[in-house]
Amino acid sequence: MVLDANWAVKWLTLCAQAMAEHRVELIELDRAIGDSDHGENMDRGFQAVLVKLGESTPETPGAALKMTAMTLMSKVGGAAGPLYGTAFLRAATALGDSAEIDPAAWAGALEAARDGIVARGKAESGDKTMVDAWTPAVDAARAAADGGSTDVLSVLVAAAEAAEAGAVATDPMVARKGRASYLGERSAGHRDPGAVSSALILRAAVGAAA
Amino acid sequence: MTVSIVVVSHSEKIADGAVELAAQMAPDVKIIPAGGTDDGRIGTSLEKVLAALERGSEQGSGDGAVADGTVVITDLGSAVMTAESALEFLEDPAGVLLADAPLVEGLVAAAVAAQGGADVQAVRKAAEAAGRIVQQAEPASSGEEELEPVTSAPPDCTGDFELVNQAGMHARPAAKVAGGLASLDAEVTINGVDGASMTGLMTLGAGKGAVLHVEAWGADAERAVEYVGGLVEAGFGEP
């Protein structure tokens, strides 16, 4: 399996599919602790990405991710727009003009994306945000890549599984960032919608390579 | 050429309304709204913000002057993030400054400073000074610390001026004073508030007959005191 521009297009297409499928679930999660627009916004943003992909075919994974960044920042509307937009933009910058992504490059792209989210949202691990999905994903991808894995699929899987576990781990947390932080202790007992959508995005990356 | 201002709000109506309000006090300043999403929903749009920044940086009416920068004022959290993202997309973000200021008070103060010819740093400063006044007005806030005198050194120049116009220090005089002072190289307090802060001056509630005690530090200290004195003695051009 090679992660090239075709893979990136398939990944983004599966992201759009996942957001459409999980739109209601994300809305429900966000209704509990936010303003219930996360599913709607993510679906709209990725549908706009699909439209862009229909208009032109990116030549590199980096180009695909940069186009996605711009589209999400312009179409999502809420906080997820600049956060995911920054994540995709930083990942695109990390990948540069490479035609293919190897395990180390994937770990590097995830790390750049996570750092972008942290810089933009000023959130840390444990704040009950998407960072709580991204940081375990970065660590898992890095460990897999550093462990000498040449099989990029196993690195994608490690990142996705860690993000999913990270999302589950937000359940008992008390939110310290974003709209949910206004709820204080009452935010505990609900899963963070941003962490869930992050896990969906990283799971779609596996699906595109499988 | 003056500094331009971009207003980023989740609501198109808020951005447009705030611009309309500020334009009353700063008719010559280019103030550009970037409110709502592309399709008119509540939210923010990178494309809208980038387009507004583009307009803000455009040259003036063919006088060859170089744009003196743009100050961006935002409302809620994700508007800040969208504005920051826009800076990341700009090829040349130099001269574009984000102000950490409340939207309406900060915008009016910034617009007035820009109208008075302040540079981009001073315009941002004027916006942020408006924010400190708002914080101070909240009882549980510790914002007062930030309003301590800028220096413990004695002022380089002082002056006392009695207000002679009927209405006293209302919005337009405060705008004139703050706008002029923001463009000078001086730290100025008037009865203890930041002289470059329009909202600060308005909180003085100084009516006709009140005396303004002006203290100024810095290279333009004397000019600053003379500027305030001249305006006050002329009754701000009002009866």
Instruction: Decide if pLDDT at B64 tops 60.
Output: no
Measured on CA atoms in the order B178, B182, B184, B186, is the torsion positive or negative? Answer: positive
Over chain A, what is the mean pLDDT? 95
Return the ∠ at Cα B83 (arms to B119 and B200), rounded to 5°. 50
pLDDT at B134 over 60: no
| A10 has a chain B CB within 8 A of its CB | no
Tens-place pLDDT, residues B184-204: 889 999 999 989 888 888 888
pLDDT, one tens digit per residue, over B7-45 is: 999 999 999 999 999 998 889 999 999 999 988 899 999
Q: Is B224 or B136 the better-scoring residue by pLDDT? A: B224
pLDDT tier for residue B151 given thresholds of 50, 70 and 90: low
Mean pLDDT of A146-175: 94
Q: Which residue of A has its CA nearest to B85?
A: A82
| Residue (of B136, A165, B174) closest to A157 by Cα position | A165
What mean pLDDT do residues A94-112 have?
A: 96
Residues whose CB is less than 8 angstroms from the CB of residue A43 and which lie 6 or more positions away in sequence, other chains included: A19, A20, A23
Which burial class, exposed, middle or buried, applies to B64 when counting CB atoms under 10 A from its CB (0-12, 13-18, 19+)? exposed
Q: Does the distance separating the beta carbons of A79 and B81 come in below 8 Å? A: yes
Q: Is the model's pLDDT at A64 over the cut of 90?
A: yes
pLDDT, tens only, A15-56: 999 999 999 999 999 999 988 899 999 999 999 999 999 999
- What three-state secondary structure class fits B217? strand
DSSP element (H, E) containing B160? strand B157-162
- Each residue of B66-99: pLDDT tens digit? 568 999 999 988 899 999 999 988 888 889 999 9
Of B44, B77, B89, the CB nearest to A77: B44
Given a cut of 90, is residue B205 above it in pLDDT?
no
pLDDT at B139: 47
How many interface pairs between A and B have CB atoms less than 8 angstroms apart? 54
Residue B142: pLDDT band with limits 50, 70, 90: very low
Q: Mind giving me the DSSP string for chain A?
A: --BSHHHHHHHHHHHHHHHHHTHHHHHHHHHHHS-S-HHHHHHHHHHHHHHHHHH---SSHHHHHHHHHHHHHHH--STHHHHHHHHHHHHHHHHTT-SSB-HHHHHHHHHHHHHHHHHHH---TTSSSTHHHHHHHHHHHHHHHHTT---HHHHHHHHHHHHHHHHHTTTTPPP-SSGGGGGGGGGTTS--HHHHHHHHHHHHHHHHH-
Question: What integer pLDDT is reported at residue B147 of this predicted model?
Answer: 46
Rounded to a whole number, what is the distance in angstroms from the first to the last CA of chain A?
8
Measured between alpha carbons, how far is A150 from A109 in angstroms, rounded to an integer? 16
Catalytic residues of B, which ones?
Answer: 10
Chain B touched by A27 (CB under 8 Å): no
Span A105-114, pLDDT tens digits: 999 999 999 9
Element (H, E) at B15: helix B12-25
Residue B234 pLDDT > 50: yes
Q: Which residue has better confidence, B136 or A180? A: A180
**pLDDT for residue B66:** 54
A89, two tokens: 């933009």
User: For chain B, what percent of residues have pLDDT higher than 90?
Assistant: 54
Provide the token pair at B118. Answer: 């302040």
A42 closest CA partner among A204, A180, A165: A204
Residues of A in contact with B82 (CB under 8 A): 73, 81-82
What pLDDT is attached to residue A60? 97
Q: What is the pLDDT of residue A178?
A: 84
pTM of the model as a whole = 0.81
